[in-house]
Chains A and B, each alone.
Chain A
Amino acid sequence: KAGVTQTPRYLIKTRGQQVTLSCSPISGHRSVSWYQQTPGQGLQFLFEYFSETQRNKGNFPGRFSGRQFSNSRSEMNVSTLELGDSALYLCASSATENYEQYFGPGTRLTVT
């Protein structure tokens, strides 16, 4: 099976812009979770989607949003980018039970 794929792998944006990141889960996996990784805060949970519905959400401002499509692919959007949004954004997919989460390679976002 192909692993979790994320596009793009690298992105440079300026403050105030918005960005959309994409994640394709492992075939057959219906749950997709998103995490932000920064040197200062470590790995933090953003949100989780299952069957096109957001099931859980972390403590991030409303500028961070996401969605999931009927084929389980997921996108996350960050509006009005701030310098502090520079991070590695990781997506993970799992089967229904959630207990095995497999991560993609991440999208490295740099905000200047």
Chain B
Amino acid sequence: GEDVEQSLFLSVREGDSSVINCTYTDSSSTYLYWYKQEPGAGLQLLTYIFSNMDMKQDQRLTVLLNKKDKHLSLRIADTQTGDSAIYFCAEIVSNTGKLIFGQGTTLQVKP
């Protein structure tokens, strides 16, 4: 079946790197995503990775994909207080527009 798991909470100091982890079950997923949600807001698409890639870097964001272990991670370099939010990992079900989301990881950045 389709399932995405994330740890629920991560606390880091400003300036440190943050690593948010995610595991998924659908090995046929073509794309995997990271979304950010701030309080009272919708979801902001941060980045995504195609399943035939191992890594994607976009400014302070680095996505690593281990397809064998079905493990996805998001690294945020030089984490700022403005990065405090809930981060969702998601996979897209093959041949549909349906996204399966993890429970979300709350990132707390301490000054």
* Contact of B103 with A by CB under 8 A: yes
Residue-by-residue, is B25-55 near A (CB-CB < 8 Å gives 1, otherwise 0)? 0000011010100000111110010000000
On whether the beta carbons of B42 and A100 are closer than 8 Å, the reply is no
Q: A103 to B97, Cβ gap below 8 A?
A: no
Chain A residues closer than 8 Å to B96, beta-carbon distance: 48, 55-56, 98
A-B contact pairs, 6 of them (CB 8 A): A42-B102, A45-B99, A90-B42, A98-B97, A99-B92, A101-B97
Contact residues of A: prevailing secondary structure: strand
Given A43-B88, A105-B42, A33:B48 Cβ within 8 A: no
Using a CB–CB distance below 8 Å, which chain A residues touch chain B? Answer: 4, 6, 31, 33, 35, 42-43, 45, 48, 50, 55-56, 58, 90, 92, 94, 98-106
Least distance between B35 CB and chain A CB atoms (Å) = 8
A38–B100 Cα distance when bound, in Å, is: 14
